[in-house]
């Protein structure tokens, strides 16, 4: 008998049909006992996990303190590609397997990235506001620069970064990338130059983040980062909210160091939007961590996560 807990923030659980996962778990593991918990606090989560063999989650804070108190938990099947909210060193220390998804939404995230770039560059939010005010003048939103004359800097040139580059080059853009872990030949094959961060500061008209990051890592994009930008680029983040110092980003928007921002992620997975400094701006587009989403990606996400969870329960070494 294996006890599985499907748990996440309430809005995350509400966004998908959990019965799909429950049915798949019970089909793949006839001994499965499946429970659900819409996260409220760490104390309640601990109480639930003390009775759990396998946790299925995407975004819950699984820190060292929590993990140190769990004697029964065997593993965590992450229904996302990232593990930034999980202390992986502590999990390994306590013999808890952590298995994220591999490639399941590369196409969707790359398309979402280009959607944000196109909407901001063509100033579609500003056009919409003007038309809602009954103003029918293309020049009312200010100057627009042709996309094909611009340089896109991709920070993190893995699967998603490479998919973004392919789409950007179809629009005639020059693409540069920063990735110290990637062989230069991989980038060269795609017509992309690997560069230093200082070159990004000098050359980028658009910056797009596609990096992994741990939740406790200092933000890469802080006040010092934004202060060095030379060309007032668009700034796109579909990666991890913890990569960006939001106060510094707001200051960069206010000062004109960047000309716009497309953000699919914020520092919080459940942000308080009522007083958000990003709202009410023509040059900012927020989406609710939706870049991965399509019917196809959701179906794969649910079923592959279940497969990973059952493999952990069975003691598989490679899941």
Write down the architecture of domain 106-286 according to CATH: 3-Layer(aba) Sandwich (3.40)
Residue-averaged pLDDT of the chain: 95
Give me the pLDDT at residue 318, please. 45
DSSP 8-class letter at 56: E
Instruction: Encode pLDDT of 45-86 as tens digits.
Output: 999 999 999 999 999 999 999 999 999 999 999 998 888 889
2-104+295-313: CATH, from 3.40.30.10, 3.40.50.720, 3.30.460.80, 1.10.3720.10: 3.40.50.720
Structure tokens at 187: 């980038």
Give the residue ranges of DSSP H helices in the chain: 10-14, 18-28, 42-49, 64-67, 88-93, 106-121, 124-132, 159-170, 184-189, 197-203, 223-227, 246-255, 295-313
Catalytic residue among 21, 112, 127, 269: 269
Give me the pLDDT at residue 269, please. 84
Instruction: Encode pLDDT of 96-111 as tens digits.
Output: 999 999 888 999 999 9
Instruction: Return the number of other C-beta atoms located less than 10 Å from residue 92's C-beta.
Output: 12
Residue ranges of the domains in the chain? 2-104+295-313, 106-286
Please indicate whether residue 272 is annotated as part of the active site: no
Give me the pLDDT at residue 173, please. 98
Please indicate whether residue 281 is annotated as part of the active site: no
How far is the first Cα of the chain from the last one, in angstroms, to the nearest whole number?
Answer: 20
**Helix (H) or strand (E) run with residue 208 in it:** strand 206-209
Residue 13 C-alpha from the chain's centroid:
17
Reported pTM: 0.84
CA distance 178 to 204: 12
Structure tokens at 288: 């609710």
Chain length of the chain: 319
Please indicate whether residue 269 is annotated as part of the active site: yes
Mean pLDDT on 179-196: 95
Is 106-286 the same fold as 2-104+295-313? yes
Give me the pLDDT at residue 316, please. 67
Catalytic residue among 16, 127, 240, 259: 240
């Amino acid at each position: 008998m294996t006890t599985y807990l499907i748990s996440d923030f309430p809005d995350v659980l509400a966004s998908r049909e959990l019965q799909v996962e429950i049915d798949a778990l019970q089909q793949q593991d006839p001994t499965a006992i499946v429970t659900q918990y819409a996260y409220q606090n760490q104390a309640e989560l601990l109480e639930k996990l003390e009775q759990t063999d396998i946790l299925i989650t995407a975004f819950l804070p699984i820190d060292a303190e929590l993990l140190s108190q769990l004697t029964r938990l065997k593993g965590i099947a992450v229904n996302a590609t990232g593990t930034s909210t999980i202390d992986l060193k502590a999990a390994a220390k306590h013999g808890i397997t952590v298995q994220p998804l591999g490639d399941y939404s590369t196409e969707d995230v790359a398309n979402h990235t280009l959607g944000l770039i196109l909407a901001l560059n063509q100033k579609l939010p500003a056009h919409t506001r003007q038309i809602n005010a009954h103003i029918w003048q293309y020049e009312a939103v200010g100057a627009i620069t042709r996309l094909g004359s611009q340089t896109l800097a991709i920070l993190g040139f893995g699967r998603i970064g490479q998919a973004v580059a392919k789409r950007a080059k179809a629009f005639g853009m020059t693409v540069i990338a920063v990735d110290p872990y990637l062989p230069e030949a991989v980038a060269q094959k795609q017509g992309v130059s690997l560069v230093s961060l200082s070159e990004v500061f000098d050359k980028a008209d658009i910056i797009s983040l596609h990096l992994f990051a741990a939740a406790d890592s200092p933000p890469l994009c802080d006040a010092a980062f934004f202060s060095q930008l030379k060309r007032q680029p668009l700034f796109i983040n579909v990666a991890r909210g913890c990569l960006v110092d939001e106060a510094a980003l707001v200051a960069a928007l206010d000062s004109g160091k960047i000309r716009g921002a497309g953000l699919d992620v914020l520092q919080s997975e459940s942000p308080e939007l009522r007083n958000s400094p990003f709202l009410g701006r023509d040059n900012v587009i927020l989406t609710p961590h939706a870049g991965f989403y399509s019917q196809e990606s959701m179906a794969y996400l649910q079923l592959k996560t279940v497969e990973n969870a059952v493999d952990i329960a069975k003691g598989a070494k490679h899941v």
